[in-house]
Amino acid sequence: MTNDTKNGRGSRARGMGVAALRGLALALVTLPGAVLCFVLSLVSIALIPIGVGLVTTPWVLTGVRAFADWRRALAAEWGGVRIPSAYRPLPRGANPWTRTFGMLGDPATWRDLRWLPVDMTAGFVTALLPAVLLYYPLQGFAIAAGLWQPFADSAAGTYWYGFVPVRDQTSALGAGALALVLLFLAHFYTARLLDAHFRLTRAVLGPNQGELAERVRVLTETRRDAVDTSAAELRRIERDLHDGAQARLVAVGMDLGTIEALLDKDPAKARELIGQARKSSVEALSELRELVRGIHPPVLAERGLGDAVRALALRLPVVTEVNVDLPGRAEAPVESAAYFAVSEVLTNAVKHSGADRIWVDLHHTDGHLRATVSDNGKGGAVIEAGSGLAGVERRLGTFDGVLAVSSPAGGPTMVTMEIPCALS
């Protein structure tokens, strides 16, 4: 027997053992965990009409999501099966009513609840079978080795090993033969059964074709919006350069030519034109700086989103408090999208809300960058075609981000922006 053959068999035996242990661990957790989550969910949702469920349901469903996400992680780590997690984000600080019906309105929530009964039945069986195939034959070999008497005595003379009745040594050898067959099957099916468990989990927990089609449609729209926005931004930059800085620089060049001709003939007029050229050059430089800040603020590139938003708040005519809790930096495109989204929302608040105080909160949690802009103005902000908020929604959609607006008549207004991302 070659070393490669020995190594291959050793690797297969280790794989069987690992699959059986993992399946047993999953079975021990699957049944009680799924039953507990399912029962608590049903009870909590049933209590919504009397008000108790409004408080308990978000906590229970958060626990269900954590249980499902843990199983997704195990499927990826133990089985190489990727199961996307597609929960809709909820605004930070939302009241119990918003959180409850926001979670119940999420298709992923009902997918989790459908998965729990499957997990406590078929999921439990497919998790337990790998361990049964590997460990149950050990009992059969023990019976065949002569230890059948204690089993038979405990069963009043006849002990059933599978479908083999064990009454004496001959029937015990039959149990040993069955154990050998089971071990042979375990050699081929232990790892496959565990893989079947994870694939069953993906089939129920994973998004369906309709959701995937909707996802493709949304991505197509956001990509088209991103292209249109980039083209419009390029046209704006070209227009600003042509009508602003470029025109001023041309005027400076003409003034310098006139100055050169007047230096000897009319020094006083030349000095006047020099002052005019200096003023035009300062204005052109200022316009270029504003243009650059509109493309990508230097402070954003150098010091990150938090300091860029603080600098933005200092230029507002309304008192603005900025709270930043970002332990790292997101990728440059994400930071840029978040910065200009916050800038647009702040501009809307200053122009239309009538507020005398604005609060900005930036933080990163659960793999999402969240920016919340609140004001004490008159409210009434809505997302409608052609509005600044609609533009913000399109900008965030390019990065799978979402925009939520709470702005009842009379105020206050709270705008929450969220972009999935990791921090470096």
Neighbours of 338 (CB within 10 A): 27
Q: Which range is least confidently modeled, 45-54, 103-112, 386-395, 407-416?
A: 386-395
User: Comparing C-alpha atoms, which of 190, 289, 310, 192 is closest to residue 241?
Assistant: 289
Distance CA 233, CA 270 (A): 40
Q: Give CA angle at 258 (254, 262), nearest 5°.
A: 170
Distance CA 224, CA 184 (A): 57
Distance CA 119, CA 127 (A): 10
Q: Quick one: pLDDT band at residue 39, thresholds 50, 70, 90?
A: very high
pTM of the complete model: 0.51
Distance CA 9, CA 180 (A): 17
What lies within 8 Å, CB to CB, of 3 at 6+ separation is none
DSSP state of 245: I
Beta bridge partners of 164: 161
Beta bridge partners of 321: 359
Q: Quick one: pLDDT band at residue 19, thresholds 50, 70, 90?
A: confident
**Segment 339-380, tens digit of pLDDT:** 888 888 888 888 888 888 899 999 888 778 888 998 888 888
In order of 27, 125, 134, 146, 151, the CA distances from 139 in angstroms are 20, 20, 10, 11, 10
| DSSP letters for 2-28 | -HHHHHHHHHHHHHHHHHHHHHHHHHH
**Segment 203-224, tens digit of pLDDT:** 888 876 665 565 566 566 656 6
Q: Are 414 and 407 in contact (CB under 8 A)?
A: yes
Q: What is the mean pLDDT of residues 76-91?
A: 78
Cis check for the bond before 412: say yes or no (omega within 30 of 0).
Answer: yes
Provide the strand spans (E) within 89-248.
Answer: 159-161, 164-166
